[in-house]
Amino acid sequence: MLKLSKLAVAAALVVVAGAASAGEVEVLHYWTSGGEAKSVAELKKIMTAKGHVWKDFAVAGGGGDNAATVLKSRVVSGNPPAAAQIKGPAIQEWASEGVLANLDATAKAEKWDALLPKVVADVMKYKGNYVAAPVNVHRVNWMWANPEVLKKAGVAGMPKNYDEFFAAAEKIKKAGLIPVAHGGQNWQDFTTFESVVLGVGGAKFYQDSLIKLDQKALTSDTMKKSLETFRKIKSYTDPAAPGRDWNLATAMVMQGKAGFQFMGDWAKGEFLAAGKVPNKDFLCAAAPGTANAYTFNVDSFAMFKLKDAGAQKAQADLAASIMGTEFQEVFNLNKGSIPVRLNMNMDKFDDCGKASTKDFVSTAKSGGLVPSVAHGMAIKPAAEGAIKDAVSQFWNDDKISVADGMKNIAKAAATK
């Protein structure tokens, strides 16, 4: 939990934004890279056009840890921003402190319940009330490939299951190239792992094992098969993988040094920034076995309680603008993600984006839409961190048996 003192919480409720000018909206975020900053500028433009004063509060650090530290100090001092970039279970943690604003009036007016899949809407709510506005959807269970590498190795198209994948990986290896580009960081290890669990066991098993943290599922034959598959993938990575950043692994695929990469659709942003064209210069497909499932990572803004009426109006307009079609389109075209709204026109999006939207809509109806554990959408931070560590230890140490790896992950899942 956030462990704010009762006194600090009281201060946060009473002293909030008293000095804010009418219509001022202060937004804390960590979108500071090129495409992200460009997108934030568009949101500022929309808000300025509505007559509000935008106060940018950018905190560098792509993972958001720095922003979270700054936010906590601001809330403790009783002076939070109007909105802050927060996602997943952290939204509920902040809401439980009593410092988040109720957005139900805006959500009802804008018909958010009809525009969002229930599984996404639930993440934005606390005790049934909206307290945050979602910005986008990143699909995490993507696999990317270089078509020239596949052609050179004699691989016909993207593998649909792990038997096809390992057959393709073997051919790429024999062709003298790296089958799988990987960056050895724990979140990257887990990004691959959760796609494997989803591909081997399906959406229900993914829910039982990685979200509900059911001990029976975590020690089952299906988890054993998942770990065996995961370890086999490791054998097709190169020795220089440990510590490599994800975008450098993407570059290996882009440059024809490697065949495949397991990574979310932010990797697409790297291909597009380099002038590459989907289905020509690079291929995108759901990770093996996951065509009917979708792991999501949703960026969002939680709204904090404000006293000033003008600031409250600006905050409500900000929430509505974030979910508006104009911002949803321009932001996601820049970010590589897709709109979180279900009724968006996708004409301007590329083939991978259109495929992602189609699967997002269909899995929302079928029950295959599940939150990404690797990207902080599903479980409490303590358990998430412990499981990530256990998975990375298994990935990096071949001496750890599958049985012991399974025991270590099950034990980590019991972390409170």
DSSP string, 12-50: HHHSTTTTPPTTEEEEEE---SHHHHHHHHHHHHHHHHT
CA-CA distance, 344 to 328, in Å (whole number)?
8
Which domains are assigned to the chain?
6-137+298-364 (3.40.190.10), 142-295+367-413 (3.40.190.10)
Confidence bin at 13 (pLDDT 50/70/90): very low
Given a contact cutoff of 8 angstroms between Cβ atoms, the answer to whether 363 and 139 are in contact is no
What is the average per-residue pLDDT within 146-154?
Answer: 98
Q: What are phi and psi of 63, to 5 degrees?
A: -80, -15
What is the average per-residue pLDDT within 277-281?
Answer: 95
Instruction: Answer whether residue 400 shows pLDDT above 90.
Output: yes
CA-CA distance, 18 to 87, in Å (whole number)?
26
For the entire predicted model, the pTM comes to 0.87
Tens of pLDDT, residue by residue over 37-62, are 888 888 999 999 999 999 999 998 65
Confidence bin at 65 (pLDDT 50/70/90): confident
Given a contact cutoff of 8 angstroms between Cβ atoms, the answer to whether 214 and 292 are in contact is no
Instruction: Answer whether residue 11 shows pLDDT above 70.
Output: no
pLDDT at 98: 97
Q: What are phi and psi of 295, to 5 degrees?
A: -90, 125
* Percentage of residues in the chain having pLDDT higher than 90: 83
Q: What are phi and psi of 251, to 5 degrees?
A: -60, -35
Instruction: Answer whether residue 18 shows pLDDT above 80.
Output: no
What is the average per-residue pLDDT within 235-242?
Answer: 97
Across 155-159, 305-309, 395-399, least confident range: 305-309
Confidence bin at 4 (pLDDT 50/70/90): low
What is the average per-residue pLDDT within 363-391?
Answer: 94
Instruction: Answer whether residue 335 shows pLDDT above 90.
Output: no
Edge to edge, what strands does the sheet with 294-297 contain?
138-139, 294-297, 369-371
HSE-CB at 349 with a 13 A cutoff on CA atoms is 23
Q: If you search the block for the tokens 């570059």, which residue do you land on? A: 251
Retrieve residue 188's tokens. 């990257």
Report H helices in 235-347.
Answer: 246-254, 266-273, 309-322, 325-335
Instruction: Answer whether residue 17 shows pLDDT above 50.
Output: no
Q: Which residue has the higher pLDDT, 21 or 53?
A: 53
What is the average per-residue pLDDT within 232-250?
Answer: 95
What is the average per-residue pLDDT within 90-112?
Answer: 97
Is residue 104 classed exposed, middle or buried when 0-12, 13-18 and 19+ CB atoms within 10 A define those classes?
middle
Across 20-24, 189-193, 330-334, least confident range: 20-24
